[in-house]
Amino acid sequence: MTARSVPAAFVRAHTRVRRPSSVPEVRLHVADDVVALWEAMEAEDGGAGETPPFWAAAWPGGQALARYVLDHADAVAGRAVLDLGSGSGLVALAARLAGARSVLASDVDPFSRTAVGVNAGLNGIGGVGVTGDVLGRDPVGIDVVLAGDVCYDREMTERVLPFLDRARAAGCDVYVGDPGRPYLPHERLTAVAVYEIPETEGPGLRRTTVWRLP
C-alpha cells in the first residue's frame, strides 16, 4: 500500500480523541506517543520514510487561529476558506463551525488528508474538502486563507509567503497563526489577536499571535 490512500482506521487505531485546550469546541484524534505513531506510519507505508505526524497534534498557531475564527465568526461566515497546512484539520473545522460556506483543507501529507476527514466526521461537520499541495498555484474561488503554524522552517516559509502574497493580491483575506517563529516577517504583518496557548507537554504557555496580511 502507498500512503496515497491512508485508511481512516489507521488514524482511529493510533490516536486518542481529545479537545485542544484552547479550542474545546472541537474534538481531534491526537497522538500521545509521537515516535510510536511515526513508526506505525512508516510500517503502514512500507517504510517509505514519512514526515513526522504533524497531523496528530493541535499546534499552537492552529489553536490560536481556530480560537480567532470562532470568536470572530464574521471573518469567515458565508465565505470560501482555504486552510493551508491543515494537519489535523482543526482550523478547517473551526472555520466551518464559525459559518464558513465551504472549506478546503490543503496538506501535502496523505495521513493529514485522511485525519481531516476522520476529525470532520468525529465532530459531525460536513463541507470540508481536502487537497494536496497548492503552493505552486494561484488561489481560485477562495475568499479567506487561514494558515496555522506553517512557518515552522525556513524552506516551508519561503514557499508559503509568496503564495500568501498572491492570495492577498487576488483579494483574499489572509490570516496566519504563529507562536513566534523567526522566519515570519512580522514587520509587514498586522497583529489582530494574541493568545497564551498551553503547551502540549509541560505546564508552560506559548504566546501565539494571529497575524493578518495588510
Ligand X SMILES: C[S@@+](CC[C@H](N)C(=O)[O-])C[C@H]1O[C@@H](n2cnc3c(N)ncnc32)[C@H](O)[C@@H]1O
* Residues near ligand X (CB under 6 A): 54-55, 58-59, 61-62, 84-88, 90-91, 106-109, 112, 133, 135, 148-150, 152, 156, 159
Give me the least distance between CB of 73 and ligand X, in Å please: 19
Which one, 25 or 133, has the nearer CB to ligand X?
133
Which one, 160 or 189, has the nearer CB to ligand X?
160
Residue with the CB atom nearest ligand X in the bound state: 62
Give me the least distance between CB of 114 and ligand X, in Å please: 12
Which one, 3 or 135, has the nearer CB to ligand X?
135
State in Å, rounded, how far the first CA of the chain is from the last one: 45
Which one, 111 or 143, has the nearer CB to ligand X?
111
Amino acid identity at 109? D
Name residue, grid cell 476527514. 117
Give me the least distance between CB of 177 and ligand X, in Å please: 7
Give me the least distance between CB of 198 and ligand X, in Å please: 14
Give me the least distance between CB of 200 and ligand X, in Å please: 10
Alpha-carbon dihedral of residues 149, 155, 157, 163, nearest 10 degrees? -120
Q: Cα separation of 100 and 106, whole Å?
A: 16
Residues 6+ apart with CB under 8 A from 81: 92, 95, 100, 102, 103, 104, 142, 143, 144, 145, 146
Helix (H, G, I), strand (E, B) or coil at 161: helix
